[in-house]
């Protein structure tokens, strides 16, 4: 196996470096800034957490509904790159626009649009993997994407963090500082995408026909019916729905949860920066372990570890515990995401990667809708954020049990 990445693989990895800056910003500084806007409007901590969770849920639901059809359309010859670029523009423009929103509700609406663009771009980006590398290198390339995404995103994040935390010292308001942070993040995201746009070529595709949009609906309908017959793919998607639900919910709501518990904002941000740094070597480690051990076993290890993380989060009360939580999340976050992506790529037809990743997005982003909604609703009903977060652990148990069935199942959609 080649040790060095090809130019196409490197440029594909770079997009992870770019989009991860947006991910890091919206899971760290943005929830705290929204808390600031919500507090100015008189919202309580429980209301703040609930509204933030509902906004994240709605964004993931929109992408889950759009994903399969857009993914199917992107599988048409010559369509994947243009649709990817449209998603990128929506996400980056939305990111910049967040800096102009002063009202908490307007901010949530723009956040919804930006996250839809970002999440949509990931469907097409993930489906590019079989076009840029071979099956024997997918685990490694996918893991490197997450690894360098984690460490690379720290560059714009640290610059933004310095500006936001030092806003008073340099004589600017919090609103202006956040506007600069959003601009830096969007610029980094777009610049890291340019190399991929220059070298990417769609090698696996469905031939273009008249009425491409109508045809995409027909294909996705056919895929929905066929996936039930492909037991391995079907069970994996079902398992993925549950376990990645927990992962995405933790990512989306970690800062909001810590902030709502009254933990120090600076400490929260630094802890989550540590998560990125820890995730870098561990994502690479899981990529290397996948060359010696079956990816299925490694994925089960990650699910079990996340169950422990979710249980620990229930009893979280102070800053030190949040730091411990952040370190453990960093150890397994990259592994479970990267190996799930590459494992799924291996069991689906390369020419239909877009529509299958659209289906995967229903299970991923659609599950995140359920997870954040459950945490928000249970927190409101019980008045306890810890009880709401505790519900996440159940999802990992269900996901683990179904994934074991998927591993034992026969068949593959690969052709």
Phi, psi of 123 (to 5 degrees): -60, -50
CA quadruple 156, 325, 119, 35: dihedral positive or negative? Answer: negative
Are 253 and 52 in contact by the 8 Å Cβ rule? The answer is yes
| Region of residue 198 (left: phi > 0; alpha: psi -120 to 50; beta: else) | alpha
Cα–Cα distance, 263 to 322 (Å, whole number): 9
Question: Average pLDDT, stretch 17-24?
Answer: 92
Cα–Cα distance, 17 to 393 (Å, whole number): 30
Cα–Cα distance, 244 to 237 (Å, whole number): 10
Are 254 and 329 in contact by the 8 Å Cβ rule? The answer is yes
Q: What is the DSSP letter of 98?
A: G
Q: What is the mean pLDDT of the chain?
A: 83
Residue 119, pLDDT above cutoff 70: yes
* pLDDT, tens only, 327-383: 998 899 888 988 998 888 888 777 666 667 777 776 766 566 677 778 778 877 887
pLDDT for the residue 413: 45
Cα–Cα distance, 107 to 97 (Å, whole number): 9
pLDDT for the residue 99: 93
Least confident span in 20-29, 216-225, 242-251, 380-389: 216-225
Are 157 and 27 in contact by the 8 Å Cβ rule? The answer is no
pLDDT for the residue 304: 96
CA quadruple 322, 329, 192, 83: dihedral positive or negative? Answer: negative
pLDDT for the residue 410: 64
Residue 90 CB neighbour total at 10 angstroms: 18
Are 379 and 314 in contact by the 8 Å Cβ rule? The answer is no
Least confident span in 313-317, 319-323, 342-346, 358-362: 358-362
Q: How far is CA 351 from its chain centroid?
A: 24
Residue 124 CB neighbour total at 10 angstroms: 27
What is the DSSP annotation of 318-347? Answer: SHHHHHHHHHHHHHHHHHHHHHHHHHHHHT
Q: Where are the beta strands (DSSP E) in 306-393?
A: none
Q: How far is CA 146 from its chain centroid?
A: 10
pLDDT for the residue 256: 67
Q: What is the DSSP letter of 167?
A: T
Model pTM? 0.74
CATH class, domain 8-202+214-408, is mainly alpha
Question: Average pLDDT, stretch 18-27?
Answer: 90
pLDDT band at 229 (very low <50, low <70, confident <90, very high): low
pLDDT band at 414 (very low <50, low <70, confident <90, very high): very low
């Amino acid at each position: 196996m080649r040790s060095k990445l090809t130019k196409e693989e490197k440029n594909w990895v770079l997009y992870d470096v770019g989009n991860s800056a947006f991910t890091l910003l919206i899971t760290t500084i943005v929830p705290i800034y929204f808390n600031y806007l919500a507090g100015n409007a008189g919202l309580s901590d429980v209301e703040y957490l609930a509204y933030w969770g509902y906004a994240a849920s709605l964004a993931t639901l929109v992408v889950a509904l759009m994903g399969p059809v857009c993914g199917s359309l992107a599988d048409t010859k010559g369509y994947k790159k243009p649709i990817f670029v449209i998603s990128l523009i929506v996400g980056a423009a939305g990111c910049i626009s967040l800096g102009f929103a002063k009202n908490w509700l307007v901010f949530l609406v723009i956040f919804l649009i930006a996250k839809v663009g970002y999440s949509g771009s990931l469907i097409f980006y993930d489906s590019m993997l079989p076009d840029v590398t071979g099956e024997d290198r997918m685990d490694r390339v996918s893991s490197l994407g997450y690894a360098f995404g984690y460490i690379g995103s720290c560059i714009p994040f640290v610059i933004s963090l310095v500006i936001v935390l030092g806003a008073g010292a340099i004589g600017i308001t919090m609103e202006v500082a956040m506007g600069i942070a959003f601009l830096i993040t969007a610029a980094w995201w777009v610049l890291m995408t340019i190399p991929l746009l220059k070298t990417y070529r769609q090698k696996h595709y469905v031939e273009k026909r008249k009425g491409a949009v109508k045809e995409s609906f027909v294909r996705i309908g056919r895929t929905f019916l066929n996936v039930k017959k492909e037991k391995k793919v079907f069970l994996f998607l079902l398992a993925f729905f549950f376990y990645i639900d927990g992962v995405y919910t933790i990512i989306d709501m970690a800062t909001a949860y810590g902030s709502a518990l009254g933990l120090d904002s600076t400490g929260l941000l630094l802890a989550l920066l540590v998560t990125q740094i820890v995730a870098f070597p561990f994502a690479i480690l899981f990529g290397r372990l996948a060359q010696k051990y079956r990816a299925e076993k490694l994925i089960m290890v990650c699910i079990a570890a996340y169950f422990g993380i979710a249980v620990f989060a229930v009893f979280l009360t102070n800053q030190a515990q949040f730091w411990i939580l952040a370190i453990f999340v960093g150890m397994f976050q990259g592994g479970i995401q990267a190996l799930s992506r590459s494992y799924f790529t291996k069991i689906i037809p390369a020419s239909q990667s877009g529509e299958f990743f659209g289906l995967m997005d229903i299970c991923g982003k659609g599950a995140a809708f359920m997870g954040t909604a459950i945490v928000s609703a249970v927190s409101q009903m019980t008045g306890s954020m810890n009880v709401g977060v505790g519900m996440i652990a159940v999802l990992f148990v269900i996901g683990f049990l179904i994934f074991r069935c998927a591993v034992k199942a026969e068949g593959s959609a690969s052709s």
